[in-house]
Structure 1
Amino acid sequence: MVRLDELQAQVAVRYDNLGLPSWPNPHAGTASPREEEYERVTEPDRYGIVHARARVWADTLGDAPKVDVETLAPAPLDDKGHLGRFDRGVRLTSPRPGTLPLLLLERDAPLSGLEAPLAVLQISVVRPEIALEVLPDCGCDACDWGSDDLLRAIDQTIGYVIGGPIVVLRGKGWHARWHPDGGSSGGTPQGPDHAQIMQLCRGLAGGEDVRLPNGTEVFVGRPWLN
């Protein structure tokens, strides 16, 4: 398979050929959003770019040798239905040993008082509920940092999965993810210390035998690429 930077370049060219909307960061150089922006959604249709970018990634990866692309029917994001549903999606898998399946899940989120829904993309691994990123995270004007910010976040998150290594941990009331460029964790205050869990993730990525909190789900993804 080609290198990650080559894939990203292919995605950028294919996407640019679609001629989709782009807009600058409306908050560049400002201290903070205005109060009225938190209850306003301007041009929700333009957020369709997150679905479009994901589809270009799916097409580009699907052109790679032996990468399998499975179309997913609408379904709940988790077994109990607490997280809502997705409306469309694809599951991409690499033939390389130790890699994690990549899920690109589309939602059409209804907006109060508006006819057009908000396009939402969820990037997950292994199962729909194991989310790495949800974009846009809100959709209101106060949380709008421009189209480039959205596209960059999509490319980076997909890059973490296919470029590898990536480690995802899920425990009771907490979660964490790690990749060579950094990591994040969250959940209840009773969850493990961030610095400690990042160290454990680095050990897992390096193939070490580490001791994790009881009941932790562990997903270690190796690079899809040569």
Structure 2
Amino acid sequence: MSTSGLFPGALGPMPETRTSAMLIWPSTEPVLPPRFVEGFEPFEAFAREAGADPAVLAADLGALWDFVAAHPELLDAPERAEAAARFLGNAVAVAHPAARWQMTSEPEVGTSMMSIPVAGLLRGIVEHPERRESFDEMLASWPQADRDAEELDALSREEVEIDFVVAPAPFTRPALEVPEFVDESGQVIAHGSRWPYGSPPEDAYSRVSHPERFAPVTGVVDALVDHVETWYDIEVDRRSDESGARVWHLRPTTGAAITLSGTAESVLIEAGALTRELAPSCTCDACDETAESVSDAIEETVLAVAAGGLREVFPVGQRRWLHTELRTPDGGRRSGGGEPGPSLSAEQLDEAADVLARLPDGWWPAWTLRSAQP
């Protein structure tokens, strides 16, 4: 690797593939993505010709922002624009030493918590120089966001033994009667396997076709609720709301309550104090979910919560994030973290924090099995 007098470290080539995490090869030291990349020399020359000191710009993001904003012609030549973006990304890495380069759909510099597409940042400075204050605020909050993310990550890695309480009989899903849907050419759409030979087309991410294919899932929810009501000591309230959505309130004598709200297109799962899941999480054509995959997700969540596999920790870190974790009796495990639902008021969040503080490390107990069973 080469070095530069402008940036405090070695210069490396732009990563060719995504390297948001370190790569470990057998019998070698971990190989980290570069903190600084080469190829910014045309911008360095441009800055000198414009009367600016590149060393000052490299060490002061505010000065660099003002310089770029004052020279929109940087975008006129592709080679110069790319060099400016690389210089800008290196300057971000100076301001935030944990940041490193990675390649996604375009070059970015950042951490696992936050990553900045450098070409987009360059254009943003030229087109919206007035946004410097919000950019400075983001940079100032970044270190704390990384610390909070590390705390969330540590929670997700914790090992714990759970005494699952499983219903004596497994749940049997009723048959799903999903009608066939056809495309513009009259061909039957093979939902769930539409893209067997590679990535979906770009426009599939913004297209939603036949979300009504999820309508049969409400029948699965009905059967699932009947199943847990049979085996666990819970009260169930079934109703329809003013919009026509089906609603099931599951109130156990012990453990986390669940509310399911189902329409022809999705089912919202609310569990415990703050856990919220939407199934499907996305209905776009690219994700290509099916009634079967959505049913899988709902069954996994409800049965795991009933068995004692739900954990909620809130607040985490200074940013007051939520950590959720779901474990299944067969060894499955998934976790998530971030801001709680934006619709929740400060009072609701405080109430949830009080409830969760009384649980052992945030773990909800299992539901109690009925004493008189079939």
Which TM bucket (shorter chain)?
0.5 to 0.7
Percent identity between matched residues is 21
Aligned-residue CA RMSD (Å): 3.4
Distance in 1 (CA, whole Å) between partners of 2:233 and 2:360 is: 31
Indicate the residue corresponding to 2:291 in structure 1.
147
1 or 2, which has the higher helix percentage?
Answer: 2
Distance in 1 (CA, whole Å) between partners of 2:266 and 2:168 is: 25
Q: 1:155-194 residue pairs with structure 2 within 5 A? A: 155-171=299-315, 172-179=320-327, 181-187=332-338
Structure 1 residues 138, 178: closer, same or farther in 2, change over 3 A?
closer
After the TM superposition, which segments of 4 or more aligned residues of structure 1 sit over 6 Å from their partners? none
**How far off its partner does 1:28 sit?**
5.7
Q: 1:57-72 residue pairs with structure 2 within 5 A? A: 57-64=224-231, 66-71=233-238
Any conservation in 1 of the 2:233–2:367 contact (CA below 8 Å)? no
Any conservation in 2 of the 1:103–1:123 contact (CA below 8 Å)? yes
**How far off its partner does 1:209 sit?**
6.1
Distance in 1 (CA, whole Å) between partners of 2:244 and 2:275 is: 13
Any conservation in 2 of the 1:160–1:166 contact (CA below 8 Å)? yes
Distance in 2 (CA, whole Å) between partners of 1:54 and 1:160 is: 15
**How far off its partner does 1:164 sit?**
1.8
Q: Give 5+ residue unaligned stretches, structure 1.
A: 76-84, 108-117, 189-203, 211-217
**How far off its partner does 1:134 sit?**
0.8
AA in 1 matched with 2:212 = D
Distance in 2 (CA, whole Å) between partners of 1:44 and 1:165 is: 30
Q: Deviations over 1:12-58 (max 9, x none)?
A: 1xx21x63448652246333211121232222221113322212212
Distance in 1 (CA, whole Å) between partners of 2:212 and 2:258 is: 26
Which one of the candidate residues 155, 165, 170 is aligned to 1:7?
A: 170
Any conservation in 2 of the 1:175–1:186 contact (CA below 8 Å)? yes
TM-score relative to the length of structure 2: 0.39
Which one of the candidate residues 102, 115, 118 is aligned to 2:258?
A: 102
Distance in 1 (CA, whole Å) between partners of 2:170 and 2:298 is: 13
- Structure number, greater radius of gyration: 2
Indicate the residue corresponding to 1:130 in structure 2.
275
Structure 1 residues 136, 101: closer, same or farther in 2, change over 3 A?
same
Structure 1 residues 42, 94: closer, same or farther in 2, change over 3 A?
same
Comparing 66-75 with 145-154, greater Cα deviation is found at 66-75
TM-score relative to the length of structure 1: 0.61
Q: 1:179-218 residue pairs with structure 2 within 5 A? A: 179=327, 181-187=332-338, 218=362
Distance in 2 (CA, whole Å) between partners of 1:186 and 1:141 is: 26
Comparing 173-182 with 140-149, greater Cα deviation is found at 173-182
Any conservation in 1 of the 2:310–2:325 contact (CA below 8 Å)? yes
**How far off its partner does 1:104 sit?**
1.1
